[in-house]
Chain A
C-alpha cells in the first residue's frame, strides 16, 4: 500500500490508519464526530496527498482538455479552477476532477484511485504539441477547512487571502519552521466539506513542515487534524458526489445532478453524443437526498423501497453529526424523486422511514 509524505506524522498523532484506494490513510485521529464538528464550527486539517495531479502543457493543451472534459475550460482565466467530468463515449463517467488554469499550463486534480486510469486515458487522446505529466508523486496536498481557515492560513502567508474568491487559486508561499523558511505552494479556495477553506499544493518534501506549521498556528482557534471518516460525513452533508459511489462508469452526469458541469454547446467532446441521446430519451432515475425520519444509519448499497416495491438504492449513507439523524444519497426512479416523498430504507431487512429532501443537507458556507 502507498503512503503519503505525512504517513509518519499521522501515526505519531495516533491516527487509526485504513486502506483507501490503494493508500494507507488516516480514518480518524480522535473521534469522527468530534473531527466533523470541529470543521463545521472551527477548522480542520486534512492530508489529501493521495489525490492525483496531472499537468498538461503545450499549444494543444486546451484543445485536449476541451475534448476530454464536459465543462467549458476555454472560459478559464489564469488563476481559476473549474469542476468538471471526463466521460466515456457511452456517457459513463471516467472521473470527476478539478481543472486549474496556470499561465503556461493546466493541472488536473483527480481521484487517488483513478490516477493511473485517468493518466492513460488522457495520454491515449493526446496528439500534436501536448505534454502530459503525472506529477502526483511529487505533489503533496493539505486542506484546511472550516470558518477559521482564512484567519489561520493568513498568519503564515503574505498572500492576501481575502482577495481570493471561491474556485480561485494563487501561486504563493507559506512560511514554515517558525518563520525561518518560506516554501512555494499553490493556495486554492476550494474544498469538499461545504465550509470555507483552502487546498494547498506543495512539494512533497515540504509537506511535513507545512502540516506542522498549520497545526501549530491553528491551535488557539481549535484547528484539529481530520481523517477520511469525517471527510466522508462532511461531503455527504454537503451532498457532494464521490467517485465509486454516486458516480461511476455506469452513471450519467444528468442523473447524478451534474448537468451544470456539462456544456453541450461548447463543441464536441467524448461522451457528448451519448448524453444528447440520453436527454432525448429522458431520465429513468435520479440521485436524491434522503433523511431518515426514524432511528437508524443508512449505508451504501441499502435498498430504497416504497411499500413493498423496490424503487432504488443508496450510494452513500451516514449518521449526520450536524443534523443528528441518518442521511444518504441514492438513486430512485424519476417519479419518486420529488422532495417530501415518503420512502423507506431497508436496514437489516426492516423498512426504516425516510423522506426525499432537497440537498445540501446542511447549508453551504463556502465563500461567495
Chain B
C-alpha cells in the first residue's frame, strides 16, 4: 500500500525522488478517504511553490481537498491526463495518478519527509482513533 522507495507527508502526499526532481501524488490512503475523484485543479508549469503551500486542489463526490507541495521548488511537469481522467488517482495513485513534478530548490527539506514505515504508523494511528 505504501511503496518503500517513496517519501511521505503528514498531509498524505507521496514523493518519488529522481535526482533533484520530486514526482508528487497522493497516497492510496488519501484517495480511499476521498472516494471517487471527479476533478482536479493542477498548477501551471513554471509555478514556484514553497513547502506546505497549496499545489493543486482536488474534488471527490464527497468532498474537496487540497494537495500541498511536499518540497519547495519550481513546477516542471503536470499530469494533464488527470484533467480528463481524474479517476486515475483512484485507480493507480502511485503510477498513472501522479500529479506534478517539482524541481527541488532546497534539498534540506527532503529530510523532513517520512519513510513508508513512519507514514504507515501515522495512518494506523489515525484509524485507531476512529
Contacts and interface: CB of A to CB of B under 8 A. Distances in A.
B38 A319 contact: yes
Interface stretch (A97-105, A140-148, A152-160, A293-301): A293-301
A27 B63 CA distance: 13
Contacts of A295: 39, 41, 83
B35 A28 contact: yes
Interface residues of A, number: 18
A155 B62 CA distance: 35
Given A296-B59, A297-B59, A319-B59, A33 B64 contact: no
Contacts of B1: none
A33 B62 CA distance: 11
A297 B64 contact: yes
A32 B62 contact: yes
A295 B41 CA distance: 8
Interface in A288-347: 295-297, 299, 318-319, 321, 326, 347
B36 interface: yes
B106 to A, nearest CB: 27
B57 interface: yes
B36 A32 contact: yes
A75 interface: no
Contacts of B57: 348
Nearest to A28: B35
Nearest to A16: B35
Nearest to B90: A31
Interface in B44-76: 57, 59, 61-62, 64
Contact of B64 (A27, A31, A233, A299): A299
A353 B61 CA distance: 20
Contacts of A78: none
A54 B39 CA distance: 42
Contact of B61 (A229, A296, A348): A229
Interface residues of B, number: 11
A326 B41 CA distance: 14
Task: Please report whether the interface of chain A is mostly helix, strand, loop or mixed according to DSSP.
Answer: mixed
Interface string B10-53: 00000000000000000000000001101101000000000000
A318 B83 CA distance: 18
Nearest to A319: B38
A297 B35 contact: no
Contacts of A32: 35-36, 61-62
Given A31-B36, A32-B36, A33-B36, A318 B61 contact: yes
A34 B87 CA distance: 12
A126 B85 CA distance: 57
A233 B36 CA distance: 13
Contacts of B64: 297, 299, 347-348
Contacts of B38: 33, 297, 319, 321
Contacts of A319: 38-39, 59, 61
A34 B39 CA distance: 16
A277 to B, nearest CB: 41
B36 A296 contact: no
A297 B38 CA distance: 8
Nearest to B64: A297
B35 A296 contact: no
A296 B35 CA distance: 16
Given A297-B39, A348-B64, 19 more contacts: A31-B36, A32-B35, A32-B36, A33-B36, A33-B61, A229-B35, A233-B61, A295-B41, A296-B39, A296-B41, A297-B38, A297-B59, A297-B64, A299-B64, A319-B38, A319-B59, A319-B61, A347-B64, A348-B57
Please give me the 9 A-B residue pairs with the lowest Cβ-Cβ distance, nearest first: A319-B38, A297-B59, A32-B61, A33-B36, A31-B36, A32-B36, A295-B39, A319-B61, A32-B35
12 contacts: A31-B35, A32-B35, A33-B38, A229-B35, A233-B61, A296-B39, A297-B38, A297-B59, A319-B59, A321-B38, A326-B39, A347-B64
